[in-house]
Amino acid sequence: MSERIHLVVIGGNAAGMAAAMRARRVCSDCKITVIEHTGRISIANCIIPAYLADDVEDINELQLLSPQTAISEHRIDVFTHHKAQNIQPSKRALSVENLETSQVLEITYDRLILSTGASPILLDVPNNNTEGVFKLRNLHDALEFRNFLERRKPESITVIGTGSIAQTCAAALHKRGMEITMIGIEKTLMPDLHPLLSERIIRTLEMNNINVYTDDIITNLKASLDASVQAVVTDKRTINCDCILFTVGVKPNVDLARSASINLGKTGAIKVDRRLTTSRSGIYACGDCAETHHIITNKPIYYPSATTAARQGRAAGENAVGGNSINDTGTLTSSIWRCFDLIVGRAGLSNRQAADAGFYYKTTLVQALSKPTQFGGDYIDIIIVSDSESGRLLGVQIAGMDGVHARLNAFVGAITAKMTLHDIEALDFPYSPEISNLRDPMNIAGRIGQKNQDR
């Protein structure tokens, strides 16, 4: 009788726990060990802005699964406050440090899954680690920031970054009555977002008394003699503030992979095949530390998101313990977020991305009601990118105050299925005036897109 497989998962959040849980379902007798350097697993990071706004009072509500439950109900051994230091692939072993005692253990494995996540990007400017400068990546960051907000009661904050996370956090902090300034380091509000939607977002922010600047080069974070934040200094202005929040993106945590000489991709994340295997036998990678591929271009990309992490985690977990061979299905880089009352979503390729991928494309702009105004309908802005010859859908961007999520979901299905403008005009959507329009905005977009194709 062969010995049971020992699967070790490094990282206990979205990808790592998805991998561990899937592996347990597929292999009931496998030994599964999760190594997590923080004190918690299965964190709902996307709910952190609600916690900052005090819409969620108890930080424990952001933990979806406790280590104790994972151990008792799923027979998954969880080692919190333990950090993997290096991997020795030839021995199928790794060195793990107990962060509370400094003791170093050697753990052997049959299969290893890297789900080491990503780290926030901090600009290399003076005083970027002074008191009052924050980042948001885990519950420790969130707790530290909220404690500061409640203890110091700052009146003003500068949010460095203007992307979807920055907008969501700005709206959350607005509920605390703070004066908020957002500074973007890119020339536009968000890379590859259509100017029409960028303008609508900026109008929404400014209507809520949030100052928005783009294309600033940050040169210094000014601190007082007691090492507290005083101001953000750029090449164009000085903005006085009581605290600073960095939201300029993340970078994959790949140091552990480097220690095992695992190949990285052109994006800087861990290179994996469709089964999530790395260049080292028996080692898989998934989530925010790994590459995925774009469904349309079929090329590797780095797109850290909860949905990508969970999907890759399930596939890596099953493949690692010898279940049915499951491939990573890739991503359309779909995303949706709320900026005050405005909901914005996008999926697929932008104009620039379509051109870079070698497509001849057309762009169609449509404005249509989500449902009759008598029932609370509002205009949705839809931007479609389509192949100029076949009419195949390549990308979509949507903004509005009602009905955005439903249309974005439908467009994601249509783009994935390689549907054309003609196809979506002919879709038979259900109709009720309290819920939708007789001609759905997606049908209208397909019709106008076809007219645009003929020009």
The pLDDT tens digits of the residues spanning 48-85 come to: 999 999 999 999 999 999 999 999 999 999 999 999 99
Digit-coded pLDDT (tens) for 232-256: 999 999 999 999 999 999 999 999 9
Find out whether 383 and 429 touch, Cβ atoms under 8 Å: no
**Given CA atoms 272, 302, 395, 440 in this order, what sign does their dihedral have?**
positive
**Per-residue model confidence (pLDDT) at position 454:** 79
pLDDT at 1 over 70: no
Task: Tell me whether domains 6-41+63-117+251-320 and 341-453 share a fold.
Answer: no
In SS3 terms, the chain reads as CCCCCEEEEECCCHHHHHHHHHHHHHCCCCEEEEEECCCCCCECHHHHHHHHCCCCCCHHHHECCCHHHHHHHHCEEEEECEEEEEEECCCCEEEEEECCCCCEEEEECCEEEECCCEEECCCCCCCCCCECEEECCCHHHHHHHHHHHHHHCCCEEEEECCCHHHHHHHHHHHCCCCEEEEECCCCCCCCCCCHHHHHHHHHHHHHCCCEEECCCCEEEEEECCCCEEEEEEECCCEEECCEEEECCCEEECCHHHHHCCCCECCCCCECCCCCCECCCCCEEECHHHECEEECCCCCEECCCCHHHHHHHHHHHHHHHCCCCCCCCCCECCCEEEEECCEEEEEEECCHHHHHHCCCCEEEEEEEEECCCHHHCCCEEEEEEEEECCCCEEEEEEEEECCCHHHHHHHHHHHHHCCCEHHHHHCCCCCCCCCCCCCCCHHHHHHHHHHHHHCC
Angle CA(302)–CA(258)–CA(84) in degrees, nearest 5?
A: 100
pLDDT at 134 over 70: yes
Residue 46's CB is within 10 A of a number of other CB atoms, namely: 14
Residue 219's CB is within 10 A of a number of other CB atoms, namely: 15
Q: Whats the size of the chain, residue-wise?
A: 455
CA distances from 334 to 330, 413, 425 (A): 11, 11, 22
**Per-residue model confidence (pLDDT) at position 2:** 52
pLDDT at 324 over 70: yes
Going from N- to C-terminal start, the domains of the chain cover 6-41+63-117+251-320, 122-248, 341-453
Residues 6+ apart with CB under 8 A from 356: none
**Given CA atoms 169, 170, 175, 178 in this order, what sign does their dihedral have?**
positive
Q: Average pLDDT of the chain? A: 95
Angle CA(14)–CA(315)–CA(112) in degrees, nearest 5?
A: 75
**Per-residue model confidence (pLDDT) at position 453:** 83
pLDDT band at 228 (very low <50, low <70, confident <90, very high): confident
**Per-residue model confidence (pLDDT) at position 325:** 81
**Per-residue model confidence (pLDDT) at position 35:** 98
CATH of domain 122-248: 3.50.50.60
Q: Alpha-carbon dihedral of residues 253, 254, 256, 260, nearest 10 degrees?
A: 170
pLDDT band at 227 (very low <50, low <70, confident <90, very high): confident
CATH of domain 341-453: 3.30.390.30
**Per-residue model confidence (pLDDT) at position 224:** 87
Q: Which two tokens stand for residue 318?
A: 């099953």
State the angle between helix axes of 306-320 and 14-26 in degrees (0 to 180), rounded to the nearest 10. Answer: 30
Of 130, 363, 360, whose CA–CA distance to 228 is shortest? 130
Find out whether 381 and 342 touch, Cβ atoms under 8 Å: no
- Amino acid residing at 289: C
Residues 6+ apart with CB under 8 A from 448: 364, 366
- Strands laid side by side in the 111-114 sheet: 76-80, 31-36, 6-10, 111-114, 283-285
Digit-coded pLDDT (tens) for 14-37: 999 999 999 999 999 999 999 999
pLDDT band at 158 (very low <50, low <70, confident <90, very high): very high
pLDDT at 452 over 50: yes
State the angle between helix axes of 404-416 and 441-453 in degrees (0 to 180), rounded to the nearest 10. Answer: 50
**Per-residue model confidence (pLDDT) at position 64:** 92
Burial call 305-336: b when 16+ CB within 10 Å, e when fewer: bbebbbbbbbbbbbbbbeeeebebebbbbbbe
6-41+63-117+251-320 CATH choice from 3.10.20.90, 3.40.50.720, 3.50.50.60, 3.40.710.10: 3.50.50.60
- Whether the model clears a pTM of 0.75, i.e. scores above it, the answer is yes
State the maximum Cα–Cα separation within the chain, in Å, rounded to a whole number: 71
Q: Report, as an integer, the average pLDDT of 148-159.
A: 96
